[in-house]
Structures are given as C-alpha cells and as structure tokens.
Amino acid sequence: MKIALITENSQAAKNGIIHEALTDIALPLGHEVFNYGMYTAEDSASLTYVMNGLLAGILLNSGAADFVVTGCGTGMGSMLACNAMPGVFCGLVIDPTDAFLFGQINDGNAISMPYAKGFGWAAELNLRDCYAKLFDGERGLGYPKERAAIMAKNRGILKDLKAASCHDMLTVLKTVDQDLLKAAIAGEKFAELFYANCQDEAIADYLRGLSA
C-alpha cells in the first residue's frame, strides 16, 4: 500500500517525528511511505488544513496514494477538508482504539490526527501504536465480528451516497480556486513523488498544465 503523509503548516515542525513513527511501523509491514511535507515550518510552500484535504483528494483519486495520513492542531479541520473531497473517507484518530475501530468498521482511506491538542510526553509512542493498529493486518473485518456484514453494507451505501453528492476529482480541480490549487501542489517534492505514482493521466495533465 502507498501511504502519503501530509503535514499542515502549524504542525510542520513535527513532520520528522510523524514521518519516523509512520515509516518505522509501515515499512516492515511491506507498505511504502511518501512524505509530501510540509517538512519544516520554514518551507516556502505552506499547506493549510484546507489544502491538506485538496491534496488528499488529488492523491487518492489519481491512484498516487492508497491511504493518506494527515492532521492539524486538533485533527478536525483536516478531517473536514478531506471529507469534502470525492472518494475520500477520513476518520479522526486520537488513540490506538480509534485507529483499530476506524480500520475495522469504516475501512476508510485517510486519517487525520491532532498534532497539537494532547500531543505531549510520549506522543511518538501513541503515533506508533495508532499506525500499528491501522496498518498491521486486514482492515474492514468488522467489530464486533457478528456485525461485519451490515458494516460492509453501510460502507457501500456511504460510498454510493458520496458519489452522488460530489463532483468527480477532475471537475473539482477545474472549478476550485486555482490559486488555492496551485498552493496545494507547490511542495518541493510534489512533482517528484506525484507524477511517478499517478495512475490518472487526465489529472496529471491538468496539474502539469497548471504548474507550467
């Protein structure tokens, strides 16, 4: 699985801590991790939580990533922005129980975490435990197990509901504020990471044209 990490500007200084915890858990499990930044608080390209959601939508809908790990001060803003995008199902994860239940019940493709609220002593241990609960083993099995079938049915209904209520991602890219979009893809490693992994040529061509 291709996991993308996106860090919002107010928490950019913690990117290294988050990235280390994520890679320490994900890589031995056979996953790949792609760090889209921000990398430091001084990065020239600054990501707001709204841009986090837009970038998550681009990565997931284009096939450049299978899962997105993001967040902000409380985790709520990034979660809302992600869920505004077509095809993105983002949960707020604060502790390992959240991670486990989100993976088993909702089986979404993105999580948002709080990197300021409650992020104190041993926070990196909580990150590792959350990622282990989320990425180790098969997701979507249900909890409790006897409710697995109805949970899977509800996930399908939600997916259909979102498809009916959202535009496709290319339409979103063409109609969203273009300055906002340019800022969201302005990260120093975006082009290097994205175009090598993108599976949707229409999205790739549009973004190339925008950056030209």
If you average pLDDT over residues 20-43, what whole number do you get? 97
pLDDT of amino acid 36: 98
If you average pLDDT over residues 1-26, what whole number do you get? 98
pLDDT of amino acid 89: 98
Q: In order of start, what are the domains of the chain with their CATH numbers?
A: 2-211 (3.40.1400.10)
Task: Tell me which DSSP letter residue 114 carries.
Answer: E
CA distances from 4 to 88, 149, 174, 211, 212 (A): 13, 29, 23, 21, 24
Phi-psi region of 65 (alpha: psi -120 to 50; beta: other; left: phi over 0): beta
pLDDT of amino acid 139: 93
Residue 5 has pLDDT above 90, yes or no: yes
Cβ neighbours of residue 65 under 8 Å, at least 6 residues apart? 2, 3, 4, 34, 59, 197
Task: Tell me which DSSP letter residue 204 carries.
Answer: H
Q: 123-136, pLDDT tens digit by residue?
A: 999 999 999 999 99
pTM higher than the cut 0.85: yes
pLDDT of amino acid 212: 80
Task: Tell me which DSSP letter residue 64 carries.
Answer: S
If you average pLDDT over residues 201-210, what whole number do you get? 97
